[in-house]
Structure 1
């Protein structure tokens, strides 16, 4: 029996079906890539054993209109899942591989393997060499950081990618010896010998200074004396810097401006500071004050509103803050306190951990071959065409 007879109707002409398929495809692309992309970045960590496939994550992020993604590696499956999507990527060289990058041949080989094959279809715009290197005690790693950055930069130039892909590193806020008032911001004395040449490199390469800022840590350490409204972007009188007379109504902006002050104190006023991580945990151990869905939603939601307003810090009001929110998913294999596993905007099944107005679609999984795969776009088109055909029959 013909399929049309089984449905009790005549199949529509092929040209009509093809037109509908094309319409679905064009509509999908327009929805995914319309100009009003959300001006936020998302950290996409994968220290978990229950996360959806990169292909499904690609749908989720594009349906949310997220325009920037930061990885902690250069996962080819992730980069491949975002081909021709227009999403901008920061990829990372892990601390365990930094020292090897000092060798120019190794740096070039890394780029040829992890970056060059995906360009320009995947928009890789930045490489972070190491993460929070000065937080640890590995003196060899600290000494090799700048030579590794220089080697990667030179390899990019040799491959004709200079100017298209930046090179930098991400720092934790504990590189600061002083951060309040913001105008008195200064790097730790032991960090300065490393930081001075790194800043000169960033200035020469026109690369940003990345900082991981977590007001939550300040609140967790001293909840009795750190005003909750100040760390959550809620209405409050703020704090005035006695040197500049600038008023700060939230801790994050004060932290960023203290970094600007520390950079300027070492003679540089031409380097942009970007927030490579910030977030608030939705759950924690009993001694982790403030780790609740309510506070996490308040922090992230208010931060997103500031970003959408293209707001700058008091020191640089005309420069919109550039933020990568941590993180996309809760990651169940991360070590440390419970909060470390609960920074996600979403659970691994695509359900929001809390509501901040970010709506996304995580497509279903295909179990037909015993593997978990995202339903291909062509399959979704054919499903839509079949549905329209039946409805018009």
Structure 2
């Protein structure tokens, strides 16, 4: 009886679980951010259930044990050459950094390298596919391919022409490396991960790009004459540009997932648009957009999924000031600006109202109905005991 009841509750949870759309990148190039255990608390309070990290730090993986948060771990570029030539090393890495933490820590993906083909390191281009294959084969040998997916995030630098979206193609110099990689990902049913930043596009040409188009605000948008589609925000245009490149390359059915997107709240004098107001506007509107669980103009039936960059401002990141100011939260765990999260403090009525206003009453109603169902099941369990 009790076993049947638990199976019933599990079934209810499964039925009510919906496709995720909103995740975050948990970068840790800092010496002043909260400990991983506090980060779990923060994410739970914010109801963020999908996280990407850039390594496979054991302290982080242990902290996320039994948290219910799904994770993508990273195999850094510095390991690619070694992993590409040694199946044994790939198996050891997967055993030590993935299998050892399953199933309590819900590792759902391995990002093999980051922005490799968008870099200038040709040696890394040459070893990426081998590393991807060896990691996948290691997962296969451990019977984990149904649990853990293999991917490799790309920057916008892999594209040649990308405006209008339908004209986008991969750079010709990358074709000998990109096409075999896509072929393999197609065989193992992996999506195409792209780091899409309207902020970077706007910053590169603020005189000719309407900032409202970049920030999801009211604007005239652009019209793609080839597809006869209209775009009122750059985020969708960047995603559909990736879809167009994939289609031209021969992979029209491959899903695009945004592995990074965000907006800097502070920057140097030459970093146009890097302000708290713009960062709040972008991330607030992005969150609302993703909550609608809709597709893009070119792929309306494929729900857009994105990981926001980043969870925290990271004070040790090199480069321009913007690099250290992408965080939704400050180093002390407080919010950088208000988009409906509360930070490392108890949830308040104000944040609840913000969530209702921003994300829609329908989602709250579903959550309430689920709560009633679970409560009833728990009551029945108590009566059984």
TM-score range, shorter chain: 0.7 to 0.9
Is 2:146 the partner of 1:151? no
C-alpha spacing 1:306/1:128, structure 2 compared with 1 (3 Å)? same
| Alignment correspondent of 1:231 | 214
Task: Decide which of 272, 275, 290 is 1:292's aligned counterpart.
Answer: 275
| Alignment correspondent of 2:258 | 275
Please give the alpha-carbon distance, in whole angstroms, between the structure 2 residues aligned to 1:240 and 1:91: 38
Please give the alpha-carbon distance, in whole angstroms, between the structure 2 residues aligned to 1:134 and 1:81: 32
Contact 2:75 2:111 in 1 (8 A): yes
| Alignment correspondent of 2:24 | 42
Contact 1:51 1:349 in 2 (8 A): yes
| Alignment correspondent of 1:182 | 165
Task: Decide which of 186, 190, 204 is 1:207's aligned counterpart.
Answer: 190
Please give the alpha-carbon distance, in whole angstroms, between the structure 2 residues aligned to 1:270 and 1:38: 20
Please give the alpha-carbon distance, in whole angstroms, between the structure 2 residues aligned to 1:362 and 1:89: 24
Please give the alpha-carbon distance, in whole angstroms, between the structure 2 residues aligned to 1:358 and 1:113: 34
Query: Per-residue displacement from partner, 1:214-250 (whole Å, max 9, x unpaired)?
Result: 1111111111110011000001121110001100001
Give the secondary-structure state (helix, strand or coil) at the position aligned to 1:69.
strand
Task: Decide which of 56, 60, 75 is 1:93's aligned counterpart.
Answer: 75
Contact 1:57 1:362 in 2 (8 A): no
Please give the alpha-carbon distance, in whole angstroms, between the structure 1 residues aligned to 2:257 and 2:21: 13
C-alpha spacing 1:63/1:260, structure 2 compared with 1 (3 Å)? same
User: For residues 121-270 of structure 1, what are the structure 2 equivalents within 5 Å?
Assistant: 121-270=104-253
Contact 1:219 1:289 in 2 (8 A): yes
TM score, norm. by length of structure 1: 0.82
Greater Rg, structure 1 or structure 2? 1
Is 2:44 the partner of 1:67? no
TM score, norm. by length of structure 2: 0.84
Please give the alpha-carbon distance, in whole angstroms, between the structure 2 residues aligned to 1:215 and 1:37: 24
Contact 1:328 1:344 in 2 (8 A): yes
- The size of the alignment, in residue pairs, is 330
Give the secondary-structure state (helix, strand or coil) at the position aligned to 2:154.
strand
Is 2:332 the partner of 1:315? no
Structure 1 unmatched runs, 5+ = 1-33, 364-393
Give the secondary-structure state (helix, strand or coil) at the position aligned to 1:91.
strand
Please give the alpha-carbon distance, in whole angstroms, between the structure 2 residues aligned to 1:216 and 1:351: 23
Contact 2:266 2:275 in 1 (8 A): yes
Task: Decide which of 282, 297, 301 is 2:284's aligned counterpart.
Answer: 301
Contact 2:94 2:139 in 1 (8 A): yes
Query: Per-residue displacement from partner, 1:182-228 (whole Å, max 9, x unpaired)?
Result: 11110111111111101101101111110001111111111111001
